[in-house]
Amino acid sequence: MATVVTRENIKMREKTLTMETLNPQVKAVEYAVRGPIVLKAGEIERGLQQGQKHPFTEVIKANIGDAHAMGQKPITFLRQVVALCSFPELLESPSFPEDAKVRAGRILQGCGGQSLGSYSASQGVDCIRRDIAAYIKQRDKGVPADWDNVYLTTGASDGIVSILKMLVSGQGLSRCGVMIPIPQYPLYSAAIAEMDAVQINYYLDEDHCWALDINELHRAYLAAKEHCHPRVICIINPGNPTGQVQSKKCIEEVLHFAFEENLFVMADEVYQDNVYSTDCQFHSFKKVLYEMGPEYFNTVELASFHSTSKGYSGECGFRGGYMEVLNLDPEVKAQLVKLLSVRLCPPVSGQAAMDVIVNPPLPHEPSYPQFHEEKSTILGALAEKARMTEHILNAVPGIKCNPVQGAMYAFPSIFIPPRAVEEAKALGMPPDMLYCLRLLEDTGICIVPGSGFGQREGTHHFRMTILPSMEKLKVLLEKLRDFHIKFLKKYSSLEELER
């Protein structure tokens, strides 16, 4: 025990956890939404606070779908219910409306010891699961929904990762392949890397408003079959980062394809309330599957994900969410519950927030007018900002933006002059990373390079949210336009400019 620690054996002691010994699957993970540009933005922000000089006075974060951080106000009713659940003495307070008290009382009844501080069942609080099933049934015009198939999650991410974890197995030719759209939300690529599965890219069709092309699915599937076992198809609808809303026909084709090829379907539907284009409508994968008939509805394995973070409530910090699974083998379901139980339960206040979203005030209830007013104001503003963003961006030479039909993002393609491409290469970064970096340094605007989401070779994009207030978003878009023109000028030869 009396080992003398000398200078020598200190020097010899290497760290246990180094870049060399780190789990290589962790190393392989990339997550652009909080990547290098965002870290740099944080640095600049701290610099500004300490009095450093920049050509701007504030950093505008349009990198992440974080509505409240961009000034969106919470839905009053939701917060009243959460506050009542958190501090039940308020149930006696005359300043809270009756319907909020009834909701809170009901949720607390479902909690152990009537406290938000108890663990819930691993699948979530029973009455909240029932409310979710009732919501799904109503949303899908009567398609049956069994609350036993509903699991509360810690945001949608947690559900997505859990389902993927169940599916990933095999080595070599039988290694699990996961089909994901490109561009994609990088949670998918990150989870696939972490689990050492095979990422199978199917490209969305930018020329047709980022539609999913069934032929491209076939191509990707057949190519992947050569080297792995495709077992899962992930769809994001409405699209992130691409903002498209899938047509019913397109969803039918995907489901038929999944049926034929025995694929597990993961439908990321967290933007189901965010549809702005008047000629689009949200169709849930489940409803479409039902309408395809019992042969499909009783066989295709489907998991659909929703969240408190998006929609009109934008409650990201509560980490609420749920998934509904369909046609899962009963034994597999037991395994899923077991897997979820290791993490004990999703945050119960997030579950309460989810409950309010699926079970908002009804027209005859006292909180309805305010709730309805807040909800329409938020969704109306988002729709207007979606149109304005598309409009302003498309007026800039060298920027082309599809309509933002839904979700919360624009994902325009940008022309990057060859000289800028070369400079980026010399700096060891993708060209759109250089673009976003220069934009940040020049204007304080923080957006995410398209390379973080995936894009066709040789094309360049960025993702920006439409969440800043109308005034701020307008300023942002104008600054972006001016920057873009300057950037083109700086890197283009005279001939290119004249073309």
Q: Which of residues 58-97 bind a second copy (CB under 8 A)?
A: 64, 66-72, 74, 79-80, 82-84, 86-87, 90, 93, 95
Stretch that binds a second copy, among 343-351, 396-404, 433-441, 473-481 (CB under 8 A): 343-351
CA distance 100 to 104: 6
Neighbours of 248 (CB within 10 A): 12
Please select the residue that binds a second copy; options are 41, 150, 236, 345, rule is CB under 8 A: 345
CA distance 63 to 38: 7
Q: 151 pairs with which residues across the strands?
A: 323
Question: Is the preceding omega at residue 55 within 30 degrees of 0, hence cis?
Answer: no
Closest CB 21 distance from a second copy, rounded Å: 6
Task: Report residue 148 CA to chain centroid gap.
Answer: 25
Q: Is residue 332 within the footprint of a second copy (CB under 8 A)? A: yes
Q: What are phi and psi of 16, to 5 degrees?
A: -75, -40
Closest CB 255 distance from a second copy, rounded Å: 12
Closest CB 353 distance from a second copy, rounded Å: 8
**DSSP secondary structure, 466-498, as one string:** S-S-HHHHHHHHHHHHHHHHHHHHHHS-HHHHH
* Contact flags string 147-176 toward a second copy, x per CB under 8 A: -------xx-xx--x---xxxxx-------
* Contact flags string 197-236 toward a second copy, x per CB under 8 A: ----------------------------------xx----
Looking at the Cβ atoms of 76 and 201, the one nearer to a second copy is 76
Q: Is residue 113 within the footprint of a second copy (CB under 8 A)? A: yes
In angstroms, the Cα distances linking 369 to 70, 158, 204, 372 are 25, 34, 40, 5
Closest CB 23 distance from a second copy, rounded Å: 4
- Token duo for residue 426: 């010399």
Q: Is residue 117 within the footprint of a second copy (CB under 8 A)? A: yes
Stretch that binds a second copy, among 20-28, 359-367, 403-411, 437-445 (CB under 8 A): 20-28
Looking at the Cβ atoms of 363 and 428, the one nearer to a second copy is 428
CB distance 238 to 209 below 8 Å: no
Task: Report residue 310 CA to chain centroid gap.
Answer: 8
Q: What are phi and psi of 368, to 5 degrees?
A: -60, -50
* Contact flags string 233-262 toward a second copy, x per CB under 8 A: --------------------x--x--xx-x
Looking at the Cβ atoms of 85 and 358, the one nearer to a second copy is 85
Looking at the Cβ atoms of 155 and 449, the one nearer to a second copy is 155
- Token duo for residue 208: 């047709």
Closest CB 460 distance from a second copy, rounded Å: 24
Q: Which of 369, 484, 463, 458 is nearest to 33 (CA)?
A: 463
Looking at the Cβ atoms of 216 and 442, the one nearer to a second copy is 216
CB distance 150 to 135 below 8 Å: no
Closest CB 188 distance from a second copy, rounded Å: 10
Please select the residue that binds a second copy; options are 47, 112, 142, 397, rule is CB under 8 A: 112
Coil, strand or helix: which one is 253? helix
Closest CB 462 distance from a second copy, rounded Å: 19
CA distance 227 to 222: 10
Q: Mapped to the 3 state alphabet, what secondary structure does 123-139 carry? A: CCCHHHHHHHHHHHHHH
Instruction: Give the footprint of a second copy on residues 274-293 (CB under 8 A).
Output: 293
CB distance 152 to 162 below 8 Å: no
Q: Is residue 115 within the footprint of a second copy (CB under 8 A)? A: yes
Closest CB 271 distance from a second copy, rounded Å: 16
Question: Is the preceding omega at residue 294 within 30 degrees of 0, hence cis?
Answer: no
Helix count and strand count (H, E) for the chain = 19, 14
Closest CB 84 distance from a second copy, rounded Å: 8
CB distance 314 to 72 below 8 Å: yes
Q: Is residue 370 within the footprint of a second copy (CB under 8 A)? A: no
Q: What amino acid occupies position 160?
A: I
Closest CB 391 distance from a second copy, rounded Å: 26
Question: Is the preceding omega at residue 241 within 30 degrees of 0, hence cis?
Answer: yes
DSSP state of 211: B
The number of residues that bind a second copy (CB under 8 A) is 109
- Token duo for residue 372: 């309805």
Q: Is residue 34 within the footprint of a second copy (CB under 8 A)? A: yes
Please select the residue that binds a second copy; options are 8, 14, 207, 471, rule is CB under 8 A: 14
Closest CB 122 distance from a second copy, rounded Å: 6
Q: Is residue 344 within the footprint of a second copy (CB under 8 A)? A: yes
Looking at the Cβ atoms of 1 and 426, the one nearer to a second copy is 1
Stretch that binds a second copy, among 345-353, 381-389, 396-404, 426-434 (CB under 8 A): 345-353
